[in-house]
C-alpha cells in the first residue's frame, strides 16, 4: 500500500468492509475486516476509497519491473505478492542483508510498505510474508516448524473451507497437517494438501517468470489535487525510482523521458526531459525533473502524474582508470549540460563549429557541444564577432567609431557567396579606436558602399 504525507487517514474498502488501511488509520483503531461505518466512527476524517483491482495489478506489475534488477527470476503472486528468486543474486549484492536493505529502501522510496520474507520455496516465503512474519529461513529442515505456526488464512482458500477448519478447531497449518491426510483430502479437497506440500518442497512448484515490458509507463494518482511543484516532485520521484529500477533490470538507460501531468478538465501537460547521454541515475533524473517542474506554470491542479520512457538503450559499463587521470575534470560534463539546458532551454547551451567558408558570418555555426572540428587557417580575426555588422560613419574619407579610426592592417578582400544569394564583397581592415581598442571593420564594395564595424579584437 502506498503511503502519502496527507494528514487524513486512508482506507480501502471492499463490500462495505475495510480491506486495508494506512498507519494513521491503524493508530485510530481501524482494522482490516471492520465495517466501513465502524471505521468512520473511529476515525471521522478517514478517506475511504473503493478497492481498484486494475490499479492493484498495475502496481504489482510496476513493483515487479522494478524488482527485476535484483534477480532475473521474478514471479507474480496475484493480487499482492512478488516472488524473487534471490539465491543467485546474493553474491552480487553482497549477501542477504545488503540485498534486503536495498529492497526496503527502494520500496520505501517508491512509497510502498511491504513485508519481506524468505524461504527455500516460493510458496513458503509468500505465506510467511502474508502472515506478516519478517523471517528468513534458509534450510528445508527449519521450514516445517516455521510453516506449522502460520494461521490457516494464508492458504487463501474459500470462505467455506476456512469456516469448516475453524469449526473443527484447526487454526494453524501445523494443526491441519496433524489431521489424517485421507480425511482432509476427502472433506476439504486434495488441493489444500497439495498447496502445503508445495510450500514444504515435497511437490514441485513451477512458476512463470515475469517478463518486463519493452517500454516503461507508470502513473500515480495523487491523493488530492496538487498545484505545488514540491508535491509534484515528491510523486514524480517515486516514479523515477521505479523507472531506474526498471532500467537497471535491463542494463539500460534512457535519453528522454516524459512526465505527464493530468488535470481534471484540460489536456495533460507534458514535460519532456532530454539527456545528452543515456542514464539511469535517480538523483540526476530528479534534479532535472525539479528544474522543469519548478519553472512550470500550471494551468490547473494536477490529479495524476505519469512517467513514460520509450526507447531504452543499452548502457555500456564504464571502465574506471586505476588513478585519477590528470587534467580530466572530476565532474560530470553531460550532467552539467543537461542541468543548464533543463532551465535555460536547449538552444541556450551550444558549442561552436568551424566551416570551410570565407564569409565571416558563415564560418562559425552553432552546434552541439563536442562537435568535430575542421582545422582551417584564416587571416587575422577578432575574438568577438558582432551579431550583425554595425554601420559606422565616414567623415573626410576616414571611418569614425567613437572618434576617428586608425587603420592598422588590411585590406583583406572577401568576396564570396554568389551561389546562395547572400553574397558579400568587402575589404576588411584592422583598426584602432581612440581608446586603443582594436576593431575589425570593412568597407562595403557594393551598392552605396560605406564602413561597417564587424568585430572586436579584445
Which residues contribute to the site for another protein (CB under 8 A)? 327-333, 335-337, 339-340, 343-344, 347-354, 360, 363-364, 366, 369-373, 375-387, 406-412, 427, 429-430, 432-433, 435-439, 455-458
Smallest distance from another protein to CB 68, Å: 32
Joined together, the cell numbers standing for residue 68 give 527485476
Q: 9, 15, 1: which is closest to 27 by C-alpha? A: 9
Smallest distance from another protein to CB 422, Å: 17
Joined together, the cell numbers standing for residue 146 give 516455521
Q: What is the 3-state secondary structure (H, E, C) of 31-60?
A: CCCCEHHHHHHHCCCCEEEECCHHHHHHHH
The span from the CA of 17 to the CA of 15, in Å, is 5
CA distances from 44 to 12, 60, 294, 433, 440 (A): 15, 30, 35, 81, 79
Smallest distance from another protein to CB 239, Å: 25
CA distances from 195 to 123, 164, 183, 191, 439 (A): 8, 17, 16, 6, 89
Residue 305 or 363 having the CB closest to another protein: 363
Residue 158 or 403 having the CB closest to another protein: 403
How are beta strands 406-416 and 74-77 bridged, if at all?
unpaired
Contacts of 138 (CB under 8 A, 6+ apart): 118, 120
Smallest distance from another protein to CB 263, Å: 28
Residue 254 or 337 having the CB closest to another protein: 337
Smallest distance from another protein to CB 122, Å: 46
Collapsing DSSP states into helix, strand and coil, what is residue 241?
Answer: helix
Smallest distance from another protein to CB 155, Å: 57
- Give CB contacts under 8 A, 24+ apart, made by 209-214: 209/72, 209/73, 209/74, 209/75, 210/61, 210/64, 210/65, 210/68, 210/74, 210/75, 210/76, 212/64, 212/65, 212/68, 212/246, 212/249, 212/250, 213/65, 214/312
Scanning the structure block, which residue is given the C-alpha cell 512474519? 133
Residue 210 or 451 having the CB closest to another protein: 451
Burial class (CB in 10 A: 0-12, 13-18, 19+), 177: middle
The span from the CA of 393 to the CA of 380, in Å, is 23
Residue 246 or 428 having the CB closest to another protein: 428
Smallest distance from another protein to CB 396, Å: 14
Q: Which residues of 315-335 are buried (b: 16+ CB within 10 A; e: fewer)?
A: beeeeeeeeeeeeeeeeeeeb
Smallest distance from another protein to CB 349, Å: 5
Region of 331 on the Ramachandran plot (φ > 0 left; ψ -120 to 50 alpha; else beta): beta
Residue 296 or 353 having the CB closest to another protein: 353
Residue 54 or 374 having the CB closest to another protein: 374
Residue 49 or 408 having the CB closest to another protein: 408
Smallest distance from another protein to CB 391, Å: 17
Quick one: which H or E segment has residue 242? helix 229-249
Residue 267 or 458 having the CB closest to another protein: 458
Residue 222 or 288 having the CB closest to another protein: 288
Smallest distance from another protein to CB 417, Å: 17
Smallest distance from another protein to CB 397, Å: 12
Residue 47 or 432 having the CB closest to another protein: 432
Q: Beta partners for 21?
A: 11
Amino acid at each position: 500500500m502506498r503511503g502519502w504525507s496527507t494528514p487524513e487517514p486512508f482506507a480501502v474498502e471492499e463490500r462495505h468492509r475495510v480491506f486495508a488501511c494506512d498507519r494513521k488509520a491503524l493508530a485510530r483503531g481501524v482494522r482490516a475486516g471492520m465495517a466501513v461505518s465502524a471505521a468512520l466512527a473511529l476515525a471521522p476524517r478517514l478517506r475511504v476509497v473503493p478497492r481498484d483491482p486494475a490499479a492493484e495489478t498495475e502496481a504489482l506489475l510496476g513493483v515487479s519491473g522494478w524488482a527485476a534488477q535484483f534477480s532475473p527470476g521474478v514471479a507474480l503472486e496475484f493480487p499482492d505478492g512478488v516472488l524473487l528468486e534471490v539465491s543467485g543474486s546474493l553474491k552480487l549484492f553482497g549477501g542477504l542483508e545488503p540485498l534486503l536493505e536495498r529492497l526496503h529502501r527502494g520500496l520505501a522510496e517508491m512509497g510502498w510498505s511491504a513485508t519481506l520474507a524468505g524461504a527455500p520455496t516460493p510458496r513458503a516465503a509468500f505465506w510467511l510474508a502474508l502472515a506478516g512474519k519478517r523471517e528468513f529461513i534458509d534450510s528445508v529442515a527449519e521450514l516445517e516448524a516455521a510453516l506449522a505456526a502460520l494461521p490457516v488464512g494464508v492458504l487463501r482458500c474459500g470462505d467455506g473451507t476456512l469456516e469448516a477448519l475453524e469449526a473443527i478447531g484447526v487454526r494453524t497449518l501445523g494443526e491441519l497437517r496433524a489431521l489424517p491426510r485421507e480425511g482432509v483430502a476427502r472433506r476439504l479437497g486434495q488441493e489444500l494438501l497439495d498447496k502445503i506440500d508445495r510450500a514444504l518442497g515435497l511437490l514441485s512448484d513451477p512458476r512463470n517468470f515475469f517478463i518486463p515490458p519493452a517500454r516503461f509507463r507508470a502513473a500515480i494518482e495523487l491523493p488530492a489535487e496538487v498545484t505545488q511543484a514540491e508535491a509534484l516532485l515528491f510523486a514524480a520521484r517515486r516514479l523515477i525510482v521505479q523507472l531506474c529500477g526498471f532500467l537497471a533490470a535491463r542494463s539500460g538507460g534512457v535519453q528522454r523521458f516524459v512526465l505527464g501531468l493530468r488535470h481534471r478538465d484540460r489536456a495533460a501537460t507534458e514535460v519532456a526531459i532530454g539527456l545528452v547521454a543515456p542514464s539511469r541515475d535517480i538523483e540526476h533524473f530528479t534534479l532535472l525533473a525539479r528544474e522543469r517542474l519548478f519553472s512550470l506554470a500550471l494551468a490547473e491542479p494536477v490529479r495524476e502524474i505519469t512517467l513514460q520512457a520509450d526507447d531504452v538503450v543499452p548502457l555500456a559499463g564504464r571502465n574506471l582508470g586505476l588513478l585519477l587521470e590528470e587534467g580530466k575534470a572530476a565532474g560530470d560534463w553531460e550532467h552539467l549540460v543537461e542541468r543548464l539546458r533543463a532551465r535555460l532551454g536547449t538552444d541556450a547551451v551550444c558549442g561552436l563549429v568551424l566551416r570551410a567558408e570565407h564569409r565571416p558570418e558563415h564560418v562559425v555555426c552553432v552546434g552541439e557541444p563536442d562537435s568535430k572540428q575542421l582545422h582551417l587557417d584564416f587571416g587575422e580575426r577578432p575574438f568577438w564577432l558582432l551579431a550583425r555588422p554595425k554601420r559606422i560613419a565616414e567623415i573626410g574619407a576616414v571611418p569614425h567609431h567613437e572618434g576617428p579610426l586608425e587603420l592598422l592592417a588590411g585590406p583583406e578582400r572577401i568576396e564570396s557567396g554568389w551561389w546562395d544569394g547572400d553574397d558579400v564583397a568587402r575589404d576588411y581592415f584592422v583598426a584602432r579606436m581612440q581608446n586603443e581598442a582594436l576593431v575589425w571593420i570593412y568597407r562595403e564594395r557594393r551598392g552605396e558602399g560605406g564602413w561597417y564595424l564587424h568585430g572586436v579584437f579584445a
